[in-house]
Amino acid sequence: MERDYKPIIKDVISYALIILAVILIRIFIFDPVRVDGPSMDDTLLDGQVLIINKIGYKKSNIKRYDIVVADVCIDGKLDYENCKKERVVKRVIGLPNETIYAKDGKVYVNDKEVDSSFTKGVTEDFTLDGFTKLEGDSYFLMGDNREISLDSRGFGPVKKNQIKGKASIRIWPINKIKVIK
């Protein structure tokens, strides 16, 4: 008696295509990221899980106040390719070719105070060591919990290629599911 393997092969190919599609979506379009630490309190809390949109910035520009995920050098090296990297969730405050500083607890971009309604804590005064203007492809990121955030004040401005995507949706915990704006 001859056995027909066509339905089995068809099922295996179907499952393989589904798995391939999921892998490609995860690599190129969406990625889950866990918030690690209190630097984005009260906007995002430690342990919450976000979905980042990886292709959004290929179609549109990075905007001030976007919450992004970036790979940054945390070992003090300026060579991004050869440093110890950490993935961080932060808010974009400074855009390319802008000047940024903080004085009397307020953050200024191009000498205009930026919105601080989402922040927690006091922002210590700062200027960008050795320069005040961001380069043409650099962004200044800050955590919303300004007193304890490791952000561009510590690791410096980030290049556009270090930004991996925009936080789009909070998916965990379930009772806090929300589109992030």
Q: What are the catalytic residues?
A: 39, 90
Q: Would the CA dihedral through 45, 49, 51, 54 be positive or negative?
A: positive
Q: Which pair of structure tokens corresponds to residue 20?
A: 């391939």
Q: Which two tokens stand for residue 21?
A: 């599609």
Q: How many CB atoms lie within 10 A of CB 174?
A: 6
Give the long-range contacts of residues 84-90, CB within 8 A, separation 24 or more. Answer: 87/33, 87/164, 88/39, 88/141, 88/150, 88/151, 89/33, 89/35, 89/36, 89/39, 89/40, 89/44, 89/50, 89/167, 90/39, 90/40, 90/141, 90/142, 90/143, 90/149, 90/151, 90/152
User: DSSP character for 160?
Assistant: G
